A and B are shown apart, each in its own frame.
Chain A
Amino acid sequence: MLKIENLHARVEGKEILKGLSLTVNAGEVHAIMGPNGAGKSTLGHVLSGRDGYEVTAGTVTYNGIDLLALAPEERAATGVFLAFQYPVEIPGVNNTYFLRAALNAQRKVRGEKELDSMQFLKLVREKLKVMQISDELLHRAVNEGFSGGEKKRNEIFQMAVLEPQLAILDETDSGLDIDALKQVAQGVNTLRSPERAFLMITHYQRLLDYVVPDFVHVLADGRIVESGDKSLALKLEEHGYAGIAASHPAGSHQAGAVA
């Protein structure tokens, strides 16, 4: 589904990604771990098309198309979803209205019929049950006055409604207490399916206790330096990133993708 090859990207003239390669197949859950500044969030932003992230080399192929050539809204319409590390507030814009506009914009591009408010409301009710999100959240402005946990849950709720093929979760676990973390993880687990792939960017192993990944990759200095299964995350927990980084000095090793 997603094939990243030798990706190099710059932000404000500084090279952050330095030859990252990764392959993700439908149905798989990949965890990307790594220390601060390794390029984890940059990867999420490059994949979803944020301005200011300049790709200097490499390719990203998504379902056979060149993902990097698409505008962010086009990527969304083809099924790429980014759950933001810091969800953005949009004052005065109703949360439900926003989500319906997003879904219908995507459907329009895909040549599907747009949902009217009744159809949309029905869909929302179904998803609400699954996500354990209170009705009240829907009537407020997008992320305005939401607690940290509410914002993250709202991201997962949006994901549930938009039903992406490739979901990138950018530190969705950060800033959550254990109860909120469990709720978010449960939401993600509900959405796991053979057609959908997840890229979970995270700092800590604890999210992986609740959303068990198929693959774990260590991102250091702009490249994937080690890949493995869940046990790699536990190893990281034990030795820290420093230990991993030390055994893979920059440029010495071209980490392979997990097939």
Chain B
Amino acid sequence: MNEIMNNQSSTAATLRDNAGVAEVLGRSYSAGFTTEIEMTGLPPGLDEGTVRAISAIKHEPEWMTEWRLEAYRHWLTMPKPDWAKLNIDPIDYQAISYYAAPKVAPKSLAEVDPALLETYEKLGVPLHERAALAGVAVDAVFDSVSVGTTFRKQLAEAGVLFCSMSEAIREYPDIVRKYLGSVVPTGDNFFAALNSAVFSDGSFVFIPRGVRCPMELSTYFRINAQNTGQFERTLIVAEEGAHVSYLEGCTAPKRDENQLHAAVVELVALEKAQIKYSTVQNWYPGDENGVGGIYNFVTKRGDCRGDDSKISWTQVETGSAITWKYPSVVLRGDRSVGEFYSVALTHHFQQADTGTKMIHLGKYTKSKIVSKGISAGRSSNSYRGLVKMEKGAEGARNYTQCDSLLIGKKCGAHTFPYMEVKNPTAIVEHEATTSKISDDQMFYCRARGIPEEDAVSMIVDGFCKQVFRELPMEFAVEAKKLLEVSLEGAVG
């Protein structure tokens, strides 16, 4: 017994000055480094000349330049949206550079600057084909341009087109022209109009009729340059009976100024097509005093254009100083299905106003919304969702579940559900809960030996389970880790 006693005293001593605790507290935004690379770009400022310059750099056809200019002129007439529950300092659109790119434009992966490859290695996104994640094709967008897309050959054999948007405009103009702006029109909203005018790159995916994309597709977005906005544009088209699963990830260096990210994503699903779009968003959130961070003002919309089609959004949002984002589905085809699974975590001074819109037009359309908001520190986290049942939405159904979890006493969680029902046969259900990580739960975990920080991660992970289940396997693991890092210092 004496020996045991000694062992246990030393155990206690180890615990007291446990280096692990310091390590946990010292962890921070790990993607916050910058890459030293020779860049070229446009000086800050925005006018018609800027729009023409971007179009010219990209060797775009005349119709594309005109499309951009029309959007720009429309943007000039639009007021900034101020309905969200967000405090946004005025943005000086003339102080932003609208184009930044590595000086040497790579023609293939082999020509990509080693410093860039290293950047993506550090982020855990290897671009070398041999090292690439098994079964995942990656497109990497660095500031304003795509720097490389992997597995193109294998995808082409299956008939899948996966490339940067700039390339698609040059190589597949007919497809782009047919679908670009058909889901999110140029004048849809203030940020969508700005994006339409100045978007520099993004990903393009086209899955032809009857094809199931043989691997996960993914785009990795990285903002590196200072005072630069990132305005990417993504278009995914799934023809009749086609299936695709697509994932995007986002990071940025730590900088004291706020940087603007205003993307537009358009999804088109034709008859019996299915698109699954997952996002793990980890833009730099600003420091613990609320300095710096990305303004993430994004318009994402899917159009279930054909009967029996399905579009599913899954998002895990832990980054950005301010998030303004409502991935939506227009359920046009009969019996089409829209889903939205979301985990939004805010800490320190982060603000998020996020949710979805489900617009039911077709008969027997179905939508499901599962939103999990987690607020810690002094952050503010709002769910804003619209469910609209139009006249023709015979027998349509929606189920919405909205849960908020509060950590600490200074954060806020808000829910703003909107419902418009114009068809008497439609059924709309809404459930909402707000809970706190209770002292009872914390004590229960700790009394079993689980340290405080781990207990919080575990409880939060349990809270998010329903959403994580929807993510592709390897990204579910990443999402879980991301939550752990984002929550550090949230207790105590």
Contact = CB atoms under 8 A, between A and B. Distances in A.
Interface in A194-248: none
A102 interface: yes
A48 to B, nearest CB: 5
B12 A69 contact: yes
B11 A109 contact: yes
Task: Give the contact-size bracket for chain A.
Answer: 35 or more
A159 B412 CA distance: 38
A162 interface: yes
B466 A73 contact: no
A64 B1 CA distance: 10
Given A72-B443, A92-B462, A93-B462, A105 B5 contact: no
B12 A65 contact: yes
Nearest to B1: A26
B446 A71 contact: yes
> Binding site of A, secondary structure by majority: helix, strand, loop or mixed?
mixed
A97 B97 CA distance: 49
Interface in B437-475: 438-441, 443-452, 454, 458-459, 461-466
Interface stretch (A10-18, A31-39, A80-88): A80-88
A49 interface: yes
Interface string A54-95: 000000000111000111111111110110101110111100
Nearest to B446: A72
A88 B447 CA distance: 11
Given A88-B440, A93-B459, A141-B462, A102 B448 contact: yes
B450 A102 contact: yes
Contact of B447 (A1, A52, A76, A91): A76
B156 interface: no
B12 A101 contact: no
A88 B464 CA distance: 18
A110 interface: yes
A49 B449 contact: no
Nearest to A141: B462
A74 B9 CA distance: 11
B181 to A, nearest CB: 40
Contact of B441 (A50, A90, A110): A90
Interface in B9-63: 9, 11-12, 14-15
A200 to B, nearest CB: 17
B8 interface: yes
Interface in B405-461: 438-441, 443-452, 454, 458-459, 461
Task: Give the contact-size bracket for chain B.
Answer: 20 to 34
Nearest to A62: B8
A107 B341 CA distance: 36
Contacts of B4: 63
Contact of B12 (A74, A98, A106): A74
Most A Cβ at <10 Å: residue of B11, B12, B447, B465: B447
A87 B12 contact: no
A71 to B, nearest CB: 7
Interface in B283-311: none
A90 B15 contact: no
Contact of B443 (A51, A106, A162): A51
Given A64-B9, A76-B449, A92 B466 contact: yes
Interface string B338-378: 00000000000000000000000000000000000000000
A158 interface: yes
A63 B454 contact: no
A111 B439 CA distance: 28
Contact of A109 (B15, B446, B463): B15
B17 to A, nearest CB: 12
Contacts of A90: 441, 444-445, 458-459, 462
Interface of A: 1, 26, 48-52, 63-65, 69-79, 81-82, 84, 86-88, 90-93, 98-99, 101-103, 105-106, 109-111, 141, 158, 162
Task: Across the A-B interface, give the 7 residue pairs with the lowest CB-CB distance, nearest first.
Answer: A92-B462, A76-B449, A93-B462, A92-B465, A102-B448, A72-B446, A106-B449
Given A70-B15, A88-B441, A111-B11, 7 more contacts: A48-B447, A63-B1, A73-B446, A79-B8, A91-B463, A92-B461, A105-B451
14 contacts: A48-B447, A52-B439, A63-B8, A73-B449, A75-B447, A76-B448, A77-B15, A88-B444, A91-B462, A93-B459, A98-B448, A99-B448, A101-B454, A109-B11
